[in-house]
Amino acid sequence: MSGRETVLVAMSGGVDSSVAAALLVEKGYRVIGATMKTFCYSETPANGRTCCGLDGIMDARRVADHLGIAHYVFDMEESFGRAVMDDFVAEYVAGRTPNPCVRCNSNTKIPDLLRRGRALGADRIATGHYARIRQVTGETAVLLRGVDDRKDQSYFLWGVPPEVLDHLVFPVGDLTKDEVRDRARALGLSTAEKPESQEICFVPTDDYTDFLSTRLGADHPALSPGRMVTAEGEHVGEHGGYARYTVGQRKGLGGGFGRRLYVLGVRPDRNEVVVGDPAGLARGEVTLGDLNWLAPSPAPGERLHVRLRHRAALVPAEVVERGGSELRLRFDSPQTAVTPGQSGAIYRGEALVGGGRIR
Amino acid sequence: MTEAMLYLDHAADTPVRPEVIVAMTRLQEAGVGNASSVHGPGRAARGALEEARERVAGVLGAAPREIVFTSGGTEADNMAVLGRWRASRRGVVVSAVEHSAVRGPAAAAAREGAPLTILAVDESGRVDLGALDEALREEPGVVSVMWGNNETGTLQPVAEIGRRCAAAGAAFHTDAVQAVGHVPVRVDEARCSLLSLSAHKFGGPPGAGALFLRDGTEIEPLLSGGGQERGLRAGTSNVVAAAGLATALDLAVGQLETEAARLGTLRDRLQARLQAELPDLRVHGADADRLPHILNVGLDGVPADVLIASLDVAGLAVSSGAACHSGGGEPSHVLMAMGRFSDAVARFSLGWSTTEEDVDRGAALFLDVLDRARAAIA
């Protein structure tokens, strides 16, 4: 019809991606909406509205109709199940704390969306992430943090394949969450007042151990009682399965210790949870594996920032060692949130350089 | 997008014929009364309704009193299957490739305690007559096998099925929703006791259908209320819709011979074009006699959801399986029953407004889309 550029926008049914789609329409793109079916729909009874996905599909479709754009549902159950859910279970069994949203963006959502976009004749894809892309003609695009510091979601994007950057659009990355809601209201979008989505989309009960127990069986070693010990080997109590614990956790340890205890580590091979004083959590360094780079990779001696949790402060650090598959960083001051399996996202100024999984 | 859409999805819904629009508009504008009323306007409405009934009966080779107007094919199928079960309290037999409008009431009957038998089909989708004979030994209350399949176009040996059912004393119902207007459909030829049809598949309005119910065949009505349709289907008669249905049916059947030949030629042309470019194309039902307007193909190397979306974006309206399930990732029960598996399936269906140019453009668009989708997904 026209020479307008076509953009495929991922619409979860939430307010952010709804506004993202609306902004693209305003800008004159030919916009196609898509909702990704990622899990559980086939196992959920037709009338079961508990599953976030089904509601999401209907909300997204309503917004797409309102905007006058096409909307499709893409079935990603297989790749999501493999790359995200299986990994989630395997990481907990290995005594680590996975980050499924990172896995989803890196392995499923972004690359699959681009492939499908190209099948549809769209060379660009968009999502409702609070992040920005800076594109300078002739240069590879750079991924920047979103302008809303409290909402910045670039942390979840360190693992996306670098070649997708030139094709990515984040329409709400220049806005704050309040501005996004205002736009949604002004546009009359039905999703304007929708609450924030829960942390892990495939854990509707908000208790991931329910999911582990369904997948592994309740009597799996990772969920079976074992010893709670101090770093010195003192047996101080029992735990209900090491996969229920994550480094830095204080809740759920039970009382009667006479002092505040924190989870310092997990030993899956011995089904032990190591506890101790908060001082035992402090780490001066972090080693990242499964590295991915979205910009020239950092060299030893370079000073940059690393984020160890979503919404946690940026931590100044220096690159100590750069191997082929691992990167070692030294923090300027010791950190307590160094949790194996979680992500370390690395920033050079506003730009997301890449990252890795915490070893 | 939609403005330039090429529509090859007539088995989902075919445009209402202009003559039908004229006939319905005239009747509506003249003012129709309630066909149950005794006064003048009521008599006029009743006259129009009974005229429509006579025309439908004439086309099917039935008596007017054997025609019950319904809200569409789904209602007619429900009346036939569920209504027969409730009246007979004997088993329900359906083929594995029935439309959900038959599968649904069959499942509902089973939930009410009906013994339910599902007849297997061969690779082309034709029902296994040996399995039918076996099922007939249980003296079922109703056997429901469609005339022509909505996904693949496969024609069932309805005359043979009707003969066997008659010999066994079982009521034979055939869902002829896709067949009527495309192949000759006569109730005596099929020896059926019940037959469903739907107006919007042959150029009539949506929301209008009919059930042929042979004299002496008992069903339990699904709707109770006023005594309309001889007590079989309560609710104020939709006279305008019935008139639209009858007008469309007359037109479709009047042109049937030439139109069936024309669509069959176009369908074969489309099939040949696709086969020439796609050596791995699977044509479903190709070994059976098929409805002339349906072409169902299977392909690998592209997921169904991607193909559906890509075709829509490219402006080609076709279906993946029955239109009623489109958008979902559920595999087609029809193709599963036939033992035919593909990553993606597309159903092209042609209609009275389809031209040779449409078919050529459709083939070219489809090939383009498929090329790009396969390259992107690989």
pLDDT in tens, chain B (378 residues): 445 799 999 999 999 999 999 999 999 998 888 898 889 889 999 999 999 999 999 999 999 999 999 999 999 999 999 999 999 999 999 999 999 999 999 999 999 999 999 999 999 999 999 999 999 999 999 999 999 999 999 999 999 999 999 999 999 999 999 999 999 999 999 999 999 999 999 999 999 999 999 999 999 999 999 999 999 999 999 999 999 999 999 999 999 999 999 999 999 999 999 999 999 999 999 999 999 999 999 999 888 889 989 999 999 999 974 333 434 457 889 999 999 988 889 999 999 999 999 999 999 999 999 999 999 987
Would you state the pLDDT for residue A139? 86
* Of A55-59, A186-190, A312-316, the least confident: A55-59
Residue A251 has pLDDT above 90, yes or no: no
Residues A182 and A266 in one domain: no
Residue A45 has pLDDT above 80, yes or no: no
The answer to whether A256 and A268 are in contact (CB under 8 A) is: no
Q: Is residue A108 part of a domain?
A: yes
Domain count, chain A: 3
- Test the B interface: residue of A8, A71, A120, A124 with most B CBs within 10 Å: A120
Would you state the pLDDT for residue A41? 46
What CATH number did the domain enclosing A324 receive? 2.40.30.10
Residues A110 and A43 in one domain: yes
Q: Is residue A197 part of a domain?
A: no
Interchain contact B303–A (C-beta under 8 A): yes
Q: Is residue A86 part of a domain?
A: yes
Residue ranges of E strands in chain B: 6-7, 67-70, 92-95, 116-119, 142-144, 171-175, 194-198, 209-213, 282-283, 294-299, 316-317, 344-349
Residues A272 and A344 in one domain: no
Strand partners, B195: B174, B212
- Amino acid in the structure at residue A319: V
In whole angstroms, what is the distance from residue B370 CA to residue A309 CA?
43
- Test the B interface: residue of A36, A75, A76, A124 with most B CBs within 10 Å: A75
What CATH number did the domain enclosing A273 receive? 2.30.30.280
Residues A289 and A276 in one domain: no
Residue A47 has pLDDT above 60, yes or no: no
Supply the angle between the helices B304-314 and B356-377 in degrees, to the nearest 10. 130
CB contact under 8 A, B377 and A115: yes
Q: Say which residue, A42 or A297, is predicted with more confidence.
A: A297
Buried b (16+ CB within 10 A) or exposed e, A238-275: ebbbbbbbbbbbeeebeeeeeeebbbbbbebeebbbbb
Q: Is residue A271 part of a domain?
A: yes
Residue A211 has pLDDT above 80, yes or no: yes
Residues A115 and A14 in one domain: yes
CB contact under 8 A, A72 and B373: no
Q: Say which residue, A129 or A2, is predicted with more confidence.
A: A129
Would you state the pLDDT for residue A334? 97
Q: Is residue A162 part of a domain?
A: no
Show the DSSP H helices in B98-194 as ranges: 100-111, 129-136, 158-168, 187-190
Residues A247 and A292 in one domain: no
Q: For the residues A302-308, what does the mean pLDDT come to?
A: 97
Q: Is residue A206 part of a domain?
A: no
The answer to whether B298 and B280 are in contact (CB under 8 A) is: no
Interchain contact A163–B (C-beta under 8 A): no
Q: What is the pLDDT of residues B96-140, one digit of tens each?
A: 999 999 999 999 999 999 999 999 999 999 999 999 999 999 999
Q: What is the ipTM of this complex?
A: 0.83
Neighbouring C-beta atoms of residue B215, cutoff 10 Å: 9
Residues A258 and A324 in one domain: no
Would you state the pLDDT for residue A53? 60
Q: How far is the alpha carbon of A105 from chain B, nearest alpha carbon, in Å?
A: 18
Interchain contact B306–A (C-beta under 8 A): yes
Would you state the pLDDT for residue A198? 66
Instruction: Give the pTM.
Output: 0.87
Q: For the residues A317-334, what does the mean pLDDT come to?
A: 95
Residues A233 and A110 in one domain: no
- Amino acid in the structure at residue B254: G
Residues of B whose CB is below 8 A from A120: 306, 309-310, 313, 373
Mean per-residue pLDDT of chain A: 91
Residues A74 and A180 in one domain: yes
Residues A268 and A338 in one domain: no
What percentage of chain A reaches a pLDDT higher than 70? 94
In whole angstroms, what is the distance from residue A304 CA to residue A306 CA?
7
Name which of B272, B281, B265, B293 is nearest B350 in CA terms. Answer: B293
Nearest CA in chain A to B330: A42
- Determine the straight-line distance between the first and last CA of chain B, rounded to whole angstroms: 26
Phi, psi (deg, nearest 5) at residue B364: -65, -45
Would you state the pLDDT for residue B325? 40
Question: Which domain range does residue A287 map to?
Answer: 281-358
Residues of B whose CB is below 8 A from A121: 310, 313-314, 372
Q: Is residue A63 part of a domain?
A: yes
Reply yes or no on whether B165 is catalytic.
no
Q: Say which residue, A255 or A212, is predicted with more confidence.
A: A212
Would you state the pLDDT for residue A338? 94
Residue pairs between chains A and B whose CB atoms are closer than 8 Å? 56
Name which of A169, A146, A133 is nearest A25 in CA terms. Answer: A169
Q: How far is the alpha carbon of A55 from chain B, nearest alpha carbon, in Å?
A: 15
What CATH number did the domain enclosing A93 receive? 3.40.50.620
Would you state the pLDDT for residue A3? 66
Q: Is residue A342 part of a domain?
A: yes
Would you state the pLDDT for residue A158? 98
Instruction: State which of A280, A302, A326 marks the end of a domain.
Output: A280
Q: What is the pLDDT of residues A58-92, one digit of tens each?
A: 999 999 999 999 999 998 888 899 999 999 999 99
Q: Strand B142-144 to strand B92-95: parallel, antiparallel, or no bridges (unpaired)?
A: parallel
Please name the residues in contact with B238: beta carbons below 8 A apart, sequence gap of 6 or more.
B69, B71, B207, B208
Residues A183 and A48 in one domain: yes
- Annotated catalytic residue within B324, B325, B326, B367: B324
Residues A345 and A269 in one domain: no
Q: How far is the alpha carbon of A159 from chain B, nearest alpha carbon, in Å?
A: 21
Residues of B whose CB is below 8 A from A6: 313
Instruction: State which of A234, A257, A280 marks the end of a domain.
Output: A280
* Of A9-18, A119-128, A136-145, the least confident: A136-145
